[in-house]
């Protein structure tokens, strides 16, 4: 069963393209760490946007932003499977961070509503 997309391919493509152009180095680094092409990474990012999974999209953005200053040469000697496992943990940490930020935002919004 194929996933149900909430947004059009064009919307997902434009969103991802503008972000990955701004953070090209981080995008390239994440693709190299994942042992996939930049094109494949962009397709995965587009799917995350189209599915409306804001937590995954925000987690990917965090990973890419933080990868801007990294150099793949330092990680090249690590076997691909270990790099992928490492990235899985990094993605989980990024998702947790996004969820925590959303919880704090919701709590602060509720507090403001109570005060009104």
**What is the tens place of the pLDDT at every residue in 12-32?**
999 999 999 999 999 999 999
Rounded mean pLDDT of the chain?
86
Instruction: Please give the model's pTM, rounded to 2 decimal places.
Output: 0.78
Q: Are 27 and 13 in contact (CB under 8 A)?
A: no
**What is the tens place of the pLDDT at every residue in 68-99?**
888 877 888 889 899 889 889 989 898 899 88
Calpha distance 33→84 (Å, rounded): 7
What pLDDT score does 109 carry? 52
What pLDDT score does 102 carry? 79
Q: Are 83 and 34 in contact (CB under 8 A)?
A: yes
What pLDDT score does 115 carry? 39
């Amino acid at each position: 069963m194929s996933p149900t997309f909430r947004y059009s391919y064009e919307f997902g493509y434009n969103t991802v393209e503008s972000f990955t152009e701004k953070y090209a180095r981080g995008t390239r680094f994440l693709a190299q760490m994942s042992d996939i092409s930049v094109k494949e990474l962009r397709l995965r990012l587009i799917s995350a946007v189209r599915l409306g999974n804001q937590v995954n999209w925000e987690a990917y953005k965090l990973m890419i932003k933080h990868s801007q200053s990294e150099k793949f040469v330092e990680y090249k000697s690590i076997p691909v499977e270990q790099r992928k496992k490492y990235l899985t943990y990094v993605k989980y940490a990024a998702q947790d961070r996004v969820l925590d930020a959303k919880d704090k935002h919701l709590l602060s919004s509720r507090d403001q509503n109570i005060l009104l």
